[in-house]
Amino acid sequence: MRTISWIAGTLAAVACVVYGGWNQVGYPPEAPWSFAVLSGHTSEVYALAFSPDGSLLATGEVGTVFRIWDTRTWREIRTLVVPVNPTRGTTCPGTSLAWSPDGRLLALGGSDYGGPVHLWDIETGEVRTLPTGGLARTRGLVFSPDGSLLAGSFPGWTGSGTDGTVVWDVLTGDVLHILPVAFYLGFTADGNHLVAATLNWSEEPVRFSPRIVLWEIGTWAETQVLDGLWGPFALSPCGGYLAATSGPRGPVVVVAMATGEVLAQLGDGPLGHGLSGHEVAAPIGFSPDGKHLAFVGTDRVLRLWAWATGEVVPTPTVHVRTASFSPDGLTLATASKGDLTVELWDTATLQLVGRLPGQQVATHWADLCASPDRAILATAARSEVVFWDLPAGTRRGSVKLPRQVGPLAYHPVSDVVAVGAAGSLRSEITLWDVHTGDLVLALDGHRDGVLSLEFAPSGDLLASGGADGVVRIWDTASGKEHTALQANAQAVVAVAFSPDGDLLAAAWIPGSYGAAYPAPKFLLDWRYPPAVSLWDLGTGEQLRMLEGRSGPLAFSPCGAYLAMARAEGVEVVEVATATEVASFGEPGEAPLQFTPDGRYLVTRSREGAVRFRSFPDGEIARETPIVGADAIVLDPERGLLYTALSRTALSRSFPFYYGRLGAVVAWYVGDLLGP
């Protein structure tokens, strides 16, 4: 609980870094735990917003990843990942964001049920957390015109006590007022009123009547009610007009704010309603001059409506989830349902002028490994292995497999990557040439999914652990099986060679998951006794079995110590005698890797915090929330930690299955990897 509270309440500030061809702003960065993303959007975009001066575009993905793009180059310049709290769950994968009028702050709302709202200072990188009192997920955020107030809507079940509208003082972060639940929000241009789309709810008979209300700032009294209108709505820049739908499924109308008079109305058919995905009604927003309104019809096509003349022009984009006009009105940014890209349109010609790229890096058991010189990084992405040029920060190639990609291992001498098949009855291991993409070897022997891979330090042997409970040692020159090791028919979730290559450690857990649901690499199931075996590869003899321990595993650089996971945390034993030399951490914390100098052991907590623990005392030197960091690569020369960053969501129907959407990121850890 301590770690969960820390993640929720004290999110560390992060900012992008630059080296080589990365989209960053300075290397090395001034602050630790800065990072850069190798790809563009890694999941669907739910929110778009141009900065007030139009120089930046902010995008929000599935409630966890927020990116900022330079509109002159359309390159990503900043990224912030908000950790998901797996104990809260989500109602749906939405997200929301809003710029302060001066363009310095970006308000962020995620999809966590009861999660906080964050204020991101774009200049300093500082992130502040605003309390929500455990209300439902954030539906919308809006700043007042002078930037002093921030309002957020948190719609849940009416009368449930988890819904409401919160108004904060931006300077202090204090909650000024909690209003009735609103589904859509906006401030009037003069800043005197907060506009809200609400439902007038009655119990007998049960009835929901849509309406748009104006709450006066300060007194918070309803000063005007527009019955029958529903959101999402759009306020004109001059403040005189409001576009909404007449009823939940009625036509889109433009009304005078002062009187409620209907000034313009769309016709019937696909223009009359605005069904966009799961949203009912679809005015998107007025152009900066107020002459055009972007909206989505029931056919899910985005259109521009010159509401004063009645002219309606369709755009080439469909299934639009969200859109935003640039402040000068020359560009319209759109994000569509099911697409990871953001498209940029010239509003005069409706021609596509740019696209912010999408790259889905992983959806299941993301893994990564690097060449010994850290020049090339290999990442697992569904049924594809992608190779990245790390100094340039660019994609250099990939290989596609006919089945789900499992664990990866990079050859210590040559540019060859071993790939294990996950969740497949034909669980072969393939070796690929990184430069040509050619198949080098195919190793067939496991009867179930391959869960772990590691090359011996010399590269002449490859160890593989399978869900069939067998460790197989392969000759990498001939492709023949060298040795097969088995213990209690359990699944092998981790293997590790000692630095001299003489010993092999293997972590076993109960192997009842089968090919359809291979055991996750770092899953610890304490209903059954896991164990770690230590083998002498010269004789094939099992030297000892340490019960109650499991993977991941990490040998110290000198080879004298072995770190393992157990129920209470992390245990480090002396390899020669199996004597415990250190024990620290929390339940569910697991070792990932020693730093090359042996000063620190990098661990991962159950909640997702990555920690540098000094060895052997176990004190935390630094920690940060990196959700889903199951695999890491350390780059001592540049002071970077690479990880397959993931969004992790716990499935209620199957408690051991996690769905993931992630990206490859490089975190600057500087002094911790120094000599």
Could you give all domains of the chain from N- to C-terminal order, each with its CATH number? 401-555 (2.130.10.10)
Check residue 647 and give its pLDDT: 43
Please report which confidence band the pLDDT of residue 275 belongs to, taking 50, 70 and 90 as the band edges: very low
**Mean pLDDT, residues 268-295 taken together:** 64
CA 301/CA 320 separation, integer angstroms: 7
Instruction: Name the E strands within 110-237.
Output: 117-121, 127-130, 140-143, 149-154, 164-169, 175-179, 184-187, 193-202, 207-216, 222-227, 229-235
86-122 tens-digit pLDDT: 555 444 556 889 999 999 999 998 766 667 888 999 9
Q: Which residues have CB under 8 Å from 384's CB, separation 6+?
A: 398, 399, 400, 401, 405
pLDDT band at 518 (very low <50, low <70, confident <90, very high): very low
**pLDDT tens-place string over residues 537-586:** 988 889 998 988 888 899 999 999 999 998 889 999 999 999 999 999 99
Q: Which two tokens stand for residue 260?
A: 């409620």
Per the CB < 8 A criterion, the answer to whether 392 and 376 are in contact is no
**Segment among 43-57, 68-82, 208-222 with least mean pLDDT:** 68-82
132, 117 contact by CB (below 8 A):
yes
Residue 158 has pLDDT above 60, yes or no: no
Confidence of residue 61 (pLDDT cuts 50, 70, 90): confident
Weakest-pLDDT range from 24-28, 344-348, 412-416, 466-470: 24-28
DSSP state of 25: S
Largest Cα–Cα distance in the chain?
90
- Higher pLDDT residue, 388 or 453? 453
What is the pLDDT confidence band of residue 42, given thresholds at 50, 70 and 90? low
Average pLDDT over residues 586-608: 89
Radius of gyration of the chain (CA): 27
The DSSP string of 398-464 is EEE-SS-EEEEEE-SSSSEEEEEEPS-SSEEEEEEETTT--EEEEEEEESS-EEEEEE-TTSSEEEE
Q: Which residues pair with 73 in a beta bridge?
A: none
83 band by pLDDT with thresholds 50, 70 and 90:
low
* Phi, psi of 324, deg, nearest 5: -155, 135
Give residue-wise pLDDT tens across range 206-221: 567 889 999 999 999 9
Q: Which one, of 629, 596, 633, lies nearest residue 611 by Cα? A: 629
Give Cβ neighbours of residue 160 (< 8 Å, ≥ 6 apart). Answer: none
pLDDT (average), residues 28-32 = 56
Residue 232 has pLDDT above 80, yes or no: yes
pLDDT of residue 248: 64
In this predicted structure, the answer to whether residue 594 has a pLDDT above a threshold of 80 is yes
Examine the pLDDT at 595 and tell me if it is beyond 90.
yes
**Given a cut of 60, is residue 524 above it in pLDDT?**
no
Residues with Cβ within 8 Å of residue 403, at least 6 apart in sequence: 383, 421, 422, 423, 424, 426
Per-range mean pLDDT, top range of 275-289, 516-530, 574-588, 634-648: 574-588
Ranked by mean pLDDT, the top range of 199-208, 513-522, 548-557 is 548-557
Q: 194-203, 362-371, 599-608: which has the highest mean pLDDT?
A: 599-608
**10 Å Cβ neighbour count for 478?**
9
DSSP state letter for 586: -
534: pLDDT strictly greater than 90: yes
Please compute the mean of the pLDDT values over residues 453-463 and round it to a whole number: 95
Length of the chain: 675
What would the pLDDT profile of 659-668 be if each residue is shown by its tens digit?
Answer: 334 456 777 7
Higher pLDDT, 20 or 81: 81
The arithmetic mean of pLDDT across residues 331-352, rounded, is 86
**What does the pLDDT look like over 618-653, one tens digit per residue?**
999 988 766 556 788 898 888 888 877 554 433 322
The pLDDT, as a whole number, for residue 421 is 81
Q: Is the pLDDT of residue 359 over 70?
A: no
What average pLDDT does range 178-192 have in this prediction?
91
More confident residue, 292 or 362: 292
**Residues 6+ positions from 54 with CB-CB distance below 8 Å:** 71, 326, 327, 328
